[in-house]
Structure 1
Amino acid sequence: MKINDPVVDNLAGYCSNAGFGDLTITCYGVREMPERWLQIKGDPSIRAQLFQQQRVESLFDTEIDHVHEIVYALLVNKGVFHTKIHYSSSQLTCWFARDPFVYEKYIREEVLANGFVDRFPDTDHAGRKLSLNEHELSLIFAEFKRLRLSDETVYLRNAAVNLINGMINMSFSCDGTHYIDQKTFLSKLENFETG
């Protein structure tokens, strides 16, 4: 093969000699989340029919403390950095630090089965600094329980927690959605309204 050959049919590899000392490395997306509370009102037709509905007890409702223990263990010990609990449909969605671009979905009895948490290896969050500690997680889950079970008409449908950026996401039966930073959320415990 000559350098000026127009076609290379059997390229076997590529060799390069690069000096990394002059390479500039830029980190994108490494920042603190702003303290903010974003509330989005949903579908007006759902809001109009709100008082004609009532919460139907789900499997996750009947085992809510156990569900929260499972999610807590996944977040603290198993490398889950973001999770969404779908209370109404009894689903759990998890994003693991080992593969953050792929979420994993677990449903109903699978989540509550003996050994569910043990099937995941103990691991950390890939060296990332966490915005929430274990005590704050316990407070958040207690508030999720209150928001899910305290009212039969306006109630929490699903909720998400992100350990890295500290954001909490909640959707309610009135089709309202809240995105709220952990500092604001924790300051509103027991006073948070469900609308």
Structure 2
Amino acid sequence: MKEPPRKQQWLQIKGDPSIRNFVFQQSRTPSLFDEQIDELMAVTEALVLMHGVFHAKIHFASNQLTCWFYNDPYRYRVFVGEEVFAPGFLDQFPSVVLAERPEIPNEVVPEILAHFRRLRLTDQTIYLRNASMNTINGLIGMTFSCDGSHYIPYSEFFETVAYF
């Protein structure tokens, strides 16, 4: 007998204790993605809303944008540094706005990205290291400088993001 789908819930995972032990002895070093964060968010938004990306992961410090596309869901593509900001970058991708049963509605994608921006830049000690959103399963993923990883259904994300 097939089980009904399990309701997703907020999952917090603690990682390497040595990172947590020295969290207050570090500070964020600005990256290319930090310096061009508004353009990064605009590119990510366009990829998700207009070019068929259903899962986007931003690695802020290493300047990587990793994407999974509807038309090739079993492979991810990694875009690095200046490549993301190159003229015509978005032109290489076909227009795709098809999403069957997305869990994250298109209208909230910009708000999610705005929160990622804020969480990356607000504090120099406790900051967002990487962030992801998956429009199909509705999960927001975040890893912070204190080595805490969170996987949160997008509806809970909006209820709790002010506490981050």
The TM-score with structure 2 as length reference comes to 0.94
Distance 1:165 1:35 in 2: 9
After superposition, residues 108-147 of structure 1 pair within 5 angstroms as 108-125=81-98, 127-147=99-119
Distance 2:102 2:152 in 1: 16
The runs of 5 or more residues in structure 1 that have no matched partner are 1-27
State the structure with bigger RCO (CA 8 A, min sep 6), 1 or 2: 2
Pick one of 156, 159, 164 that aligns with 1:184.
156
1:173 aligns with 2:145: yes
**Change over 3 Å in CA distance of 1:131–1:149 after alignment to 2:** same
Partner-residue secondary structure (3-state), 2:77: strand
> CA deviation digits over 1:35-81, x for unaligned, max 9?
41000111000000101100000000011111011010000111110
The runs of 5 or more residues in structure 2 that have no matched partner are none
Aligned to 1:99: 72
Aligned to 1:48: 21
**Change over 3 Å in CA distance of 1:182–1:29 after alignment to 2:** farther
Aligned to 1:73: 46
**Aligned-residue identity in percent:** 48
RMSD over aligned CA atoms reads: 1.7
Distance 2:83 2:55 in 1: 19
Pick one of 129, 153, 158 that aligns with 2:130.
158
Partner-residue secondary structure (3-state), 2:91: helix
Shift of 1:132: 1.5
Pick one of 24, 27, 36 that aligns with 1:63.
36
Shift of 1:29: 10
Partner-residue secondary structure (3-state), 1:109: helix
Higher strand fraction: Structure 1 or Structure 2?
A: 2
Query: Looking at CA atoms only, which structure, 1 or 2, has the larger radius of gyration?
Result: 1
> CA deviation digits over 1:13-36, x for unaligned, max 9?
xxxxxxxxxxxxxxx9995x6241
Alignment length (residue pairs): 163
Higher helix fraction: Structure 1 or Structure 2?
A: 2
The TM-score with structure 1 as length reference comes to 0.79
